[in-house]
Each structure stands twice: as C-alpha cells, then as structure tokens.
Chain A
C-alpha cells in the first residue's frame, strides 16, 4: 500500500493588502480552495502563469507560510486518506479531527515541527538570491542538517563532501563562496542543500528558469537521478510546460489561485479539457518550425485576485463561456453600456441610464416609453459572440419607462472527474461527472 506524502484539502491563503494598521479589509486570494495529493515517489508538476499562486502553494505545502484555512496531512497511509475523505463528505468532523490530530502538519509546533522539517525541503528559483553570500558552500549545505538535528557538526561535514560528489561538483567547491560559482553550479549547491537531510518531499520552485538550455538539461537530469536514488516525492513548479512534462508523472494546471485541471501528464498535455489548459498548451513554443501553427487566442488579462471574478475565474476570458459560468451584473453593465451608449447609440436615443439593482438584475431608465426591448434583444443576439457577458441575460421586460434585465444565476464549479484520473474545474464537464457517479 502506498503512502500519500502530502494531502492538502481546501487550502486557502489570503494576503492582506492596503489599509492602515488593523483596518486592512482587502485580501489577495493567492490560493483559494486547492486540493492536492502527492503519492510517495511521485512527481507532481504545477504549471501556471505569473501570479496564479504556484509559488505560494509550494510554500504552503511545506509550511513556510501559514495557510489562512485548510488542512495539510503529511505522510498518510492510503486507507486513512480514504477514511478522511469519506468523513469530509459526510461532514463527520469528529473523525476528521481525530485523523488530522495525528497526521496534520498544521497543528505541529516547536521541536515537533522542527523534527518534521527534516522530511521536507525546497529549492528556490533564483540561485543568485537563495544562497547566503557570506557563507561557504559547505556551511550552506550543512545548515539544514544542523538546524533539524539530523546530524552532528562532524557528521555533517562528511555528508557535505558526499553530497557535493552526488551533485557533480568536486570537493574543492566546499570552500568557495556562492559568488565564485556559475548559475548552474549554484543551482547544484541549492539542490545539495535540498537533499542533505534525505527529505521525503521536495518542492522545486522553478529550479531551471534562470539557467541556459544546456545547463538546464544537466540540472533536470541530475534531479531525476537524485529522485530515483533517494525516492523523493517532488512538487515541480514551473511555467515552462515542456520542462514540467519532461519531469513529472502528473500535472496540475493553476489559474488565478485555483487548480483548474489535474491528471496524468499525457492526458493533460495531449488531451486538455479545460479551455484555459487548451489555450496554455497551444501557446507553448515548440522546436518544430515546419509544424502547422494553431493557436487558441485568449483575450484579456489575468484577473485581479483582490476581487476575482465570480463563479469560474476564467469565464471573462473563456472562448466557450455560457450563461452559468459566473456572469454578474457589473460585467453585463459595462457591455450593455458599450452597446447602448456607443456602438448602437443611434438606435437607442432616449435611454437615460443603466443601473445595477442587485447581482442579477439591471434597470435601464428611458426618457420616453418607446419599445426598446425588442431591438435590444435583436442586437444582443447579434453581439453574443463578441461580447460574452450578454449570454447570461435571461429576460428583458419593459414597463413603460423602465426596462428590467434579468440574468441567470451562476454555479460555482468544483473539480469534476472526466475519465481515469483527470479532474477538471469546468461546468462543461459537470454532467459527465454526474453520469460516472
């Protein structure tokens, strides 16, 4: 029976922003409800754009930063995971409490946590800033061994030389300072530090993005070798999808603080289900100049995570978004204003203002009681493909000088099972999920 090294449930991290002293009200929802499980000996690749919360998630999983809410279980046997999940579904909080008391990473404190730290480590992105410039390489590598009490000072010294050989550096590197090393050598040192306490779980946060292609290949092969030798589970974070595909067994794709698709690497890359994954994967530059280039063009920008879009966070950019995806009145308002006040202004002379009543209703105020509603419906039908938010309009009713626009109510998507081990957070696959159950 295999163990799960890490199992995180509904993990959230909100960073406070703005405000003065205690009055900060706004939060950046960097990670918002992520479930992630990594088996023993498994490599999970985590892909996403800048600012989607990849690094925050990596740091949360080894408790470098405290989550706002959620649960992280560490090194759990499979049957207990099943028990825990069932208890969660049945809302049997007594049982979940009991399990998390034994396995949770979050209720450990002080020396207990320090002992656990031995089993997890992280390699950072930029080897130029992650190594202390005032320490010798041997001290850098020995530090985690000493601080976790894994080895005594004397033992640590011997291990350092063994580790240096392991990562392909000669022993004289032990007495150098980081500034004397090239980028690739620095990353080797960081890797040696990462594996110095024989951890069971290692987070690699963009370990090769600062390196050249040829050096990158060296480091990737080294990581693979080390992983095989010490049987470490890895969380491999990167924005370079080809690298992640090369390294991992499973891939999770993140967007705006949420995992939108997760599954076996080949089915995620070659048969992506979520519209965002499709766009992301079509955008990967490939070293095949003669291939046919098909791109899924995405409009717009990554959403602001202080006030993320409702429902599915991808819906404002999604090419296949439909009425239940999360449209709210303010999105419809801006598009309606554009149609009525700008693009088709000549048809709508006499419309005074548009206002929001609540999240799902809008009011249009007219100067006279001309029947605008039919023309508006016609134009909306015509512009639906261009202005996506208009699909969410359920009905338009005119009562003399007041037009009432009602919208559909959105559904919050959760992870739906598609096939095998692939999970997608997209409403298009909701029915599929229900059928399988």
Chain B
C-alpha cells in the first residue's frame, strides 16, 4: 500500500523557563493510504504534539531537533530548514532564531495545510470561530485553497444547456454506475464541477423523485456580466488574475468578486454538511456555532477538514467532549468517509476502546516515543510491550462475572528530566538492568508488529 506520511526520528522539545521539556524523543511512524491509525497514550505522552508537528502548528518555544523528518507524500517538510542540533541547545540556543525557523516552517506549510493535511480538534466550541457563520467557515477554506474548483462549478452551471440537463437525467435514470458515468459525461462536455451538484441532488432524501428531477432541470443559470465571467474564467483556469489583482486592492471591488466565490462556497458547504448526515443543511450553514449541539459542531469541524479532499486528516481527541451516542455516530461517520474517499486518518485518543471501534492499526505512545505499533487485533489480543498490557488491563470491561481492574503503578514521568534508558522502566514490572541504561530499538516482532522493548528479540 502507498505511504502518505512517513515520520522519521522526529524530536520536538519545548524550551521553557524550568528546563527543556522533551515532548517527542525520536518518533518513527508510517501512515498508509486509506487506513485509520490510532495513537493512544496517557496525557503528557506527546500524542497531541505529534499531531501539531505534522501540521506545523507548534508554538514558538518548540524546537524541532535536526535529523528528524516528516515526509508528506514523499516531500520532506523539514528538509530546507536549518534546525538546531541537539548539542547546540544547551549553549548556542537563541529564542529569536528559533522563532524565525518555526515561522518559516509554518509559512511553508500554509499552502499544504487544509489541502494535503487537515486537523480536527478536541473542543469544537473553541476550534470554530463564534463570530462567523458555519457556512462561511467552510466556504473560506475552499476559497483559500481551491477557488478554481468553485469557479468551475459556477461556470459549468452557466455553460450547461437545458438539453444537456435532459440528457443527464436520462443518463442518471438508465445507468447503474451513476458516479462514473456522470464524471465521464462532464469531462467530455467540458462541464467539470457539475457532477457533484447533480449527485448531491440525487442523494437527498427529503425530496420526491419528480422534485429531484425538477431541481436538476433548474440548475441552469443565467450568464453573468462580462467582468465577472472573465474573472471566473481566470480563476477556473488558475491563470494570473491580471487586472483583477489591481481591482482586488480596492475593498469594495474585492468584496464584490470574493462574494461570488463565497456564495458558491456556501453551496458546497450545504453539500458537505448533508454528506455528513446533518438534517436541513441549507439552514445550518447560516447558523453560528453556539446554535449547534456538540455533535453538530464536531461534524462542521470535520466538514471543514474534508472540504478540500486532503490525503491525511488528523483527529485530535474528536469525541472526548461528546456523549456516547453522538460519539458513536461520529465514529461511524469516520469509517464511512474512510471507505468512501479512501482517506487516511490519524486518530489521537486516550481511550483505547474508542480506538478499537474505528482503527486499522494502533500506535502506543509513552514518554515521547512510540513503544508499540501493530494491527488492531494484535494490540488487543497479543500485546507485547508491558505498558500496552497494563493499559489494556486498566480498561473496565462489561462482563457478567465480577472483575478487578489492574492499574499501572506510578505516574507519567516528568519529561523535563526523563528517566534514563527505557522511559517506562520505573513503572515496569519486568524491568531489567539493561532497561536503565539503554533505549531499546524498535524491532519487528511479527509481520507489521513493531515493539520497543528489551524483552523481545536479541539486542
């Protein structure tokens, strides 16, 4: 399978007044196309930092250490930057220089963010802007990254003729593979962008068949004025904006042109939201986040994340603030999206039972390292690392017999001065002499089952 994300030896430390906080200490991770990779661990194990470093959303006091790399679709996002060496950190570290580096990394990724990788955060109330309509927030991301797609959609509606639409209607009713047929038809006729609109109308459940047909037949739009048409064509073909780039500097004119695209963004937002099973999406896009329930807000956040068809979506505890029933709906939605669009997900959560519902593989993090990665059934039924075993025993299970929970003694280490050798040795029941001295290497114990522990393999 194709690899979409490859992280090698990633080290991210935080420079604080009370010392250096070693959040990530050499993370190696691979994400394949069309899979959900779960990342589990206690709070403070570096799960969220990992997600943020992929997105390059780290704060300024974060230091990415030289030698690490993040390959997003075979492009190393950290390649061109002059990062700090581990030894430099004690003596020659300058906060200002680091700030400059972090800024550069962040800027270089701003074009990929949302388009290649996107992220859904834990608290949908804080990650959405309370002052903007939900539809605006979705439309904004599409306009920023994919305005040509929006322009194509408008143009296709203008270009299409009534006889074309009738032909489409026949096509839709006769063939059984509607999606492919439509795409081919649109390409032949030069009407790219119309297929998603027709598919959306066909997928609606609240309209009767005749109404749907009427909705398709009324898709045709009137021609707009010359200036607008020219602008849309330029945007659609990704040509330079020419005179419009000058006009764009005038606030009134700018608003006039961007409104056309935004309006189309709202239309697309309705389609996205109803794809995520939100009823009455055409009303919801005009609402503000506080008017929506927690589950709806999280769906909006997911809609923003998938709006530009990214390859990777990072979900940082997307269901922790939600109730069981809503959580279940969101989890089902994620599996649905995965199979429908072949997306890759990184699902960060502290709750292993939630991960068990959706993931294909699970990575267990401890002390800024990934101590075990394996397919889901291996993690739950044949765990290798003592920490994984402890975590699984600590989950309360619903069984008829009475059971006792086993907990892991001790607490998460303070990463300002982490223990030597294997980070887990102070809490490990099998700790040996070697564990205190050396950091174990990752070995492939079984096919696709990696573990970092001296108990396994010969090291």
Chain A: residues with CB nearer than 8 A to chain B? 49-50, 182-184, 212-218, 220-221, 239, 241-243, 245-246, 266, 269-270, 279-280, 282-290, 293, 295, 297-298, 301-302, 338, 342-346
Contact A280 to B325, CB < 8 A, known contacts A182-B411, A214-B42, A218-B407: yes
Q: Is A288 a contact partner of B406 (Cβ separation < 8 A)?
A: no
Q: Is A239 a contact partner of B323 (Cβ separation < 8 A)?
A: yes
A215 proximity list for chain B (CB < 8 A): 42, 407, 411
B132 proximity list for chain A (CB < 8 A): none
Give the Cβ gap from B46 to chain A, nearest Cβ, in Å. 14
Q: Is B43 a contact partner of A286 (Cβ separation < 8 A)?
A: no
> With an 8 A cutoff between CB atoms, is B390 at the interface?
yes
Q: Is B354 a contact partner of A217 (Cβ separation < 8 A)?
A: no
5 smallest CB-CB distances across A and B, nearest first, come from: A217-B407, A283-B328, A217-B394, A246-B396, A285-B353
Name B350's contact: one of A213, A241, A285, A297 (CB within 8 Å).
A213
What are 15 of the A-B contact pairs (CB < 8 Å)? A50-B294, A182-B411, A214-B394, A215-B42, A217-B396, A217-B405, A220-B396, A239-B323, A243-B396, A246-B396, A284-B353, A289-B380, A290-B381, A293-B357, A343-B211
* A49-B323, A283-B327 known, 12 other contacts, Cβ within 8 Å: A49-B325, A182-B411, A212-B350, A217-B393, A220-B396, A220-B405, A239-B324, A282-B328, A289-B376, A338-B206, A343-B208, A346-B210
Interface residue count on the B side (C-beta < 8 Å): 48
Q: Is B405 a contact partner of A285 (Cβ separation < 8 A)?
A: no
Name B325's contact: one of A290, A298, A342 (CB within 8 Å).
A298
Q: Is B408 a contact partner of A241 (Cβ separation < 8 A)?
A: no
Contact A285 to B351, CB < 8 A, known contacts A269-B398, A270-B400, A293-B357: yes
B359 proximity list for chain A (CB < 8 A): 289
**B:360-398 near A, CB below 8 Å:** 376-377, 380-381, 390-398
> With an 8 A cutoff between CB atoms, is B352 at the interface?
yes
Contact A295 to B396, CB < 8 A, known contacts A285-B351, A285-B357: no
Q: When each residue 318-332 of chain B gets 1 if its CB lies under 8 Å from chain A and 0 otherwise, what string results?
A: 000001110111011
Contact A285 to B327, CB < 8 A, known contacts A50-B294, A343-B208: yes
A283 proximity list for chain B (CB < 8 A): 324-325, 327-328
Q: Is A49 a contact partner of B324 (Cβ separation < 8 A)?
A: yes
- Please report the C-alpha to C-alpha distance between residue A269 and residue B401 in the assembled complex, in whole angstroms: 13
Give the Cβ gap from A6 to chain B, nearest Cβ, in Å. 25
> With an 8 A cutoff between CB atoms, is B404 at the interface?
yes
> With an 8 A cutoff between CB atoms, is B293 at the interface?
yes
- Please report the C-alpha to C-alpha distance between residue A342 and residue B381 in the assembled complex, in whole angstroms: 52
Count of chain A to chain B residue pairs whose CB atoms are closer than 8 Å in the complex: 122
- Please report the C-alpha to C-alpha distance between residue A220 and residue B395 in the assembled complex, in whole angstroms: 11
> With an 8 A cutoff between CB atoms, is B356 at the interface?
yes
A49 proximity list for chain B (CB < 8 A): 323-325
Q: Which of chain A's residues has its CB closest to B410's CB? A: A214
Q: Is B398 a contact partner of A213 (Cβ separation < 8 A)?
A: no
B397 proximity list for chain A (CB < 8 A): 242, 286-287
Give the Cβ gap from B245 to chain A, nearest Cβ, in Å. 45
Contact A280 to B324, CB < 8 A, known contacts A242-B396, A343-B206, A343-B207: yes
**B:393-425 near A, CB below 8 Å:** 393-398, 400, 403-408, 411-412
- Please report the C-alpha to C-alpha distance between residue A245 and residue B329 in the assembled complex, in whole angstroms: 22
A286 proximity list for chain B (CB < 8 A): 353, 356-357, 397-398
A218 proximity list for chain B (CB < 8 A): 407
Give the Cβ gap from A220 to chain B, nearest Cβ, in Å. 6
B356 proximity list for chain A (CB < 8 A): 285-289
Contact A213 to B391, CB < 8 A, known contacts A49-B323, A270-B400, A298-B325: yes
Q: Is A246 a contact partner of B403 (Cβ separation < 8 A)?
A: yes
- Please report the C-alpha to C-alpha distance between residue A50 and residue B411 in the assembled complex, in whole angstroms: 30
A243 proximity list for chain B (CB < 8 A): 396
Q: When each residue 36-72 of chain B gets 1 if its CB lies under 8 Å from chain A and 0 otherwise, what string results?
A: 0000001100000000000000000000000000000
Q: Is B408 a contact partner of A214 (Cβ separation < 8 A)?
A: yes
Q: Is B43 a contact partner of A212 (Cβ separation < 8 A)?
A: yes
B395 proximity list for chain A (CB < 8 A): 213, 242, 287
A270 proximity list for chain B (CB < 8 A): 400
Q: Which of chain B's residues has its CB closest to A270's CB? A: B400
Report which residue of A183, A214, A270, A290 has the largest number of chain B beta carbons within 10 angstroms of its beta carbon: A214
- Please report the C-alpha to C-alpha distance between residue A215 and residue B408 in the assembled complex, in whole angstroms: 8
Give the Cβ gap from A380 to chain B, nearest Cβ, in Å. 15
B211 proximity list for chain A (CB < 8 A): 342-343, 345
Q: Which of chain B's residues has its CB closest to A347's CB? A: B208
A287 proximity list for chain B (CB < 8 A): 352-353, 356, 380, 392, 395, 397
- Please report the C-alpha to C-alpha distance between residue A273 and residue B390 in the assembled complex, in whole angstroms: 35
Give the Cβ gap from A101 to chain B, nearest Cβ, in Å. 41
B403 proximity list for chain A (CB < 8 A): 246
Q: Is A301 a contact partner of B357 (Cβ separation < 8 A)?
A: no
A285 proximity list for chain B (CB < 8 A): 324, 327-328, 331, 351, 353-354, 356-357
- Please report the C-alpha to C-alpha distance between residue A216 and residue B394 in the assembled complex, in whole angstroms: 8
Give the Cβ gap from A351 to chain B, nearest Cβ, in Å. 16
B407 proximity list for chain A (CB < 8 A): 214-215, 217-218, 221
Name A242's contact: one of B392, B398, B412 (CB within 8 Å).
B398
Report which residue of A280, A285, A346 has the largest number of chain B beta carbons within 10 angstroms of its beta carbon: A285
Q: Is A241 a contact partner of B398 (Cβ separation < 8 A)?
A: yes
Give the Cβ gap from B5 to chain A, nearest Cβ, in Å. 22
Give the Cβ gap from A177 to chain B, nearest Cβ, in Å. 17
